[in-house]
Amino acid sequence: MSSSNSNHKLRQELRGEIPHDHNHDGVDRRSFLKCMAWAGTGALCVIQGGVLKSYALPHVAKHRIKGDLSFVQISDSHMGFNKPANPDVVGTFQTALDRIKALEVQPEFILHTGDITHLSKPEQFDTVSQMLKQTNKDAFYVPGEHDVLDDNGRGYLDRFGKNSRGAGWYSFDQKGVHFIGLVNVVDLKAGGLGMLGHKQLEWLEDDLKHLAHSTPIVVFAHIPLWAVYPEWGWGTEDSAHALSYLKKFGAVTVLNGHIHQTMQKVEGNVTFHTACSTAFPQPQPGAPQGPGPMKVPAEQLRTVLGITDVNYARGKHALALTDSTLA
Amino acid sequence: MTRSLQLLLIGFAALAVLSLCSLKSARAQVAASSAEVRIDNFTFNAPSITIPVGSEVTWVNRDDIPHTVVSEDQLFKSKGLDTDDKFTYKFTQAGVYKYFCSLHPKMTAQVVVR
């Protein structure tokens, strides 16, 4: 299926050489123009020139770039989950923390893209924030639908909603990068997808108004802001409005969770990325068993859970995202 | 028509009306009961159920992931239901009640109350 030319490129990349690296940021722009990655089984699959190729994740990890800003995205810890897909979410969360602590370049902070808890219970929130203290890093959160279950999100907001508006949206700056936490899991309508709502969209438009177009932007929200698989609710009704406000910026990275597998898409100036869960995997879109927790043999569990390391180097066009499993 | 025949007819009519009334109320008393909707694999197992006024519906979550039961008009709203948790609501008025899971809003169903 793949031409010898593509095989040659593959071998180059696995050896650490990136062809067509005009930006010198470790990303082959020509080959990665439209790139979609699935990593439900611990491999990174990339569509290159219409052909699906897979890379073992440890090889990708070697392409990490040391930059000016480094942070980690974790997601879907589902503290309190205890079904067969993972009877020990505390244990796998600890493994994720151990991976963070062992990173060659330490992150400045941690982004949690939601479903912190499984049932919005106080002790579940507290366990996660307590455990995260081991990293000695600040943590920034956005809620998942599991975090706003019983009290209109009061439990989440009381803990993590300081300086936020509405259901918990906010923004902050780090080393010239503008971060925006959005909430798309409240006031969902029957039959619909995730929803940002007009109040949040108005706030977003205003928040971006005075930023220089060269400012790198990172948007993080729980449910994907692109239509991963609407049949399973994997998308956001009104994300097109949000993306239209972001169009003028040169480098936008959108970090999401919710789907418990890594997936990546590049569309113009926007790189979309979803992270693995630290609790349990879910099937690939359209799989016959539906979107629920996916059981794998116990010894394989940590190969389908993961964290994402993000690096930004000033002057470079885009942020470098590196997914790694907990195995 | 003779007077006695008139009286007889009125008597029969009254009896008929009384019988109908008591039959109807007896039917209503027997029928108002309870129904169960099972939640499993991101689905309400009955997309539509029809029940008499005064009946209760109990939703039971048999899925391995939590769900909620929320009526579109905000009339009823369960807390988060973990596996084997239940939620019951009594329908006291006729109507069509569409509901969904607020965690997974693609899950929709309805209760028809007659």
Q: Find the CATH number of the domain harbouring A285.
A: 3.60.21.10
Q: Is residue A7 part of a domain?
A: no
pLDDT reported for residue B33: 85
Q: A18-22 long-range CB contacts below 8 Å, 24 or more apart?
A: A18/A63
Residues of A in contact with B79 (CB under 8 A): 149-150
pLDDT interval class at A137 (50, 70, 90): very high
Residues of B in contact with A85 (CB under 8 A): 64
CA distance B72 to chain A (A): 7
CA distance A98 to chain B (A): 27
| Minimum Cα–Cα distance from A152: chain B residue | B79
The whole-model pTM stands at 0.80
pLDDT above 90: residue A273: yes
Range(s) of the domain holding residue A74: 57-325
B78 interfaces chain A, CB cutoff of 8 Å: no
Cα–Cα distance list, B91 to A163, A274, B78, B102 (Å): 42, 42, 15, 20
* Cβ–Cβ below 8 Å for B42 and A83: no
* Cβ–Cβ below 8 Å for B105 and A84: no
A149 interfaces chain B, CB cutoff of 8 Å: yes
CA distance A218 to A220: 6
3-state secondary structure of B27: helix
B72 interfaces chain A, CB cutoff of 8 Å: yes
3-state secondary structure of A317: coil
A290 interfaces chain B, CB cutoff of 8 Å: yes
We find that the CATH architecture of domain B33-113 is: Sandwich (2.60)
pLDDT reported for residue A136: 96
pLDDT reported for residue A313: 82
Say how many domains are in chain A: 1
| Minimum Cα–Cα distance from A190: chain B residue | B105
pLDDT interval class at A84 (50, 70, 90): very high
B87 interfaces chain A, CB cutoff of 8 Å: no
Q: Is residue A251 part of a domain?
A: yes
Tell me the per-residue pLDDT of A139-173, one tens digit each, with 9 for 90 and over: 999 999 999 997 789 999 999 999 999 999 999 99
pLDDT reported for residue A272: 95
| Residue tagged 């031409």 (tokens) | A3
Other CB atoms closer than 10 Å to residue A91's CB: what's the count? 12
Q: Which of A83, A232, A293 sits opposite B106 (nearest CB)?
A: A232
Q: Read off the pLDDT of each residue in B91-96 and give the average, rounded to a whole number.
A: 96
Cα–Cα distance list, B21 to B14, B25, B86 (Å): 10, 6, 36
Q: Which segment of A16-20, A254-258, A273-277, B12-16 scores lowest on mean pLDDT?
A: A16-20
In this prediction the ipTM stands at: 0.77
A231 interfaces chain B, CB cutoff of 8 Å: yes
Q: Is residue A281 part of a domain?
A: yes
pLDDT above 70: residue A4: no
CA distance A212 to chain B (A): 37
* Cβ–Cβ below 8 Å for A83 and B103: no
CA distance A312 to B7: 99
| Minimum Cα–Cα distance from B69: chain A residue | A190
Residues of A in contact with B63 (CB under 8 A): 292
B97 interfaces chain A, CB cutoff of 8 Å: no
| Region at A45 (left for phi over 0; alpha for psi -120 to 50; beta for the rest) | beta
Higher pLDDT, A39 or B39: B39
Q: Which segment of A287-296, A297-306, B30-39 scores lowest on mean pLDDT?
A: B30-39
Portion of chain B with pLDDT greater than 90, in percent? 70
A232 interfaces chain B, CB cutoff of 8 Å: yes
Please, what is the Cα angle at A231 between A152 and B84, to 5 degrees? 55
CA distance A148 to chain B (A): 9
Q: Which segment of A38-47, A89-98, A233-242 scores lowest on mean pLDDT?
A: A38-47
Q: Is residue A298 part of a domain?
A: yes
* Cβ–Cβ below 8 Å for B64 and A83: yes
Rg of chain B (C-alpha set): 21
Q: Which of B44, B45, B64, B107 is the best mutation test for A, with the most CBs of A within 10 A?
A: B64
* Cβ–Cβ below 8 Å for A84 and B64: yes
Q: Read off the pLDDT of each residue in A294-323 and give the average, rounded to a whole number.
A: 90
Q: Which of residues 76-115 of A touch B (CB under 8 A)?
A: 83-85
pLDDT reported for residue B53: 96
Q: Which segment of A276-285, B28-37, B60-69 scores lowest on mean pLDDT?
A: B28-37
Q: Which of A84, A189, A231 sits opposite B105 (nearest CB)?
A: A189
Q: Is residue A45 part of a domain?
A: no
pLDDT reported for residue A54: 43
Q: Is residue A18 part of a domain?
A: no
Parallel/antiparallel/unpaired status of strands B34-40 and A320-325: unpaired
Question: Taking a C-beta distance cutoff of 8 angstroms, is the pair B68, B103 a contact?
Answer: yes
Cα–Cα distance list, B5 to A153, B12, B15, B86, B95 (Å): 74, 10, 15, 60, 45
